[in-house]
Structure 1
Amino acid sequence: MTQARVLRAAAVTPVLGVAAAACTNEPTPSSTSALPTPVSTTPPPTAVPPTTLAPSPSDSPSSATPPPTVLTEADSGLTVTLAVGATVPLRLDSRLQWETPTVDGPGVTLVPVAYKSDPGYREWEIRAERPGEVVVRTTGPGPSGPRELRITVRVIG
């Protein structure tokens, strides 16, 4: 008899489980909702700004190195590029006996600057007046005789 009770209990258990599930308020899971919702591991696309290529130095006339703010005897041998209408001062140590500078062609004018008191240098304003290339020259004392100051001025457009 005990064996019959065990069999009867085994047969009743699945029926009770189905009945208990039918008595709940929760919906019966369907085959599609039983699957987990997929989760994306890749980030959403973002807007990428368009790439603008910077012009190469040869493409842009404004990419030239700006001229020094002041030219001195230390700048001898330098080539300076100035736009038409630009100016740059040339200052030479007044303790040395520099000759008055000269320009070897048209396009640049040297204008002497006068001071009420000695600032320790003589000064000229180099004015770029028209396109071209000229050389500003002067001579002064050097350790072993006269030395030449030579600055090339290129005037552009």
Structure 2
Amino acid sequence: MFQPKIILTAAMLLSALPASAHGASGDTPSIYNKLIAKAASRPPANWRKLTDQGDAQVIAFFMIDSSGNLINGPRIVSSGQPEALRKALEAKVRNDVIKAAPFKGAPNEKYSGKVLKFLATTCIFEQEPGCVLTLSVRLPDDVRAWKEQ
């Protein structure tokens, strides 16, 4: 039986980044990933049709306070086609991050004021060798400015 593509979070990648950094400085504990996954909404009803037509990747950048509340973001960066799939994955990831906050039971004091990055993709790299992650790890300028606020 056909299995539609699911949303993978690339080994549930979530990286803590200093707001001025251009790349990852280390991975945060998996508790943030679990909390986002627990809050995750179901994919849209037309998901199978959309994923049959292409692949998409989304990165959500966000910042939390010491209580785990969102204080900036999520700021979404995405790539992939078709546009409808990309937009659906953007909306899903944005909503999942917002719904997961405040991040109860996570080491929020440690990551307070740092930019966190959550990656979601429809690519199954082992099964789709032509599917490559095309998003840059460079922080968008507006995200780097969060630390300066």
User: Given the two structures, how large is their TM-score scaled by the length of structure 1?
Assistant: 0.21
User: Given the two structures, how large is their TM-score scaled by the length of structure 2?
Assistant: 0.22
**Structure with a larger share of its residues in helix:** 2
Larger Cα-atom Rg? 1
| Bigger RCO (CA 8 Å, 6+ sep) | 2
**Structure with a larger share of its residues in strand:** 1
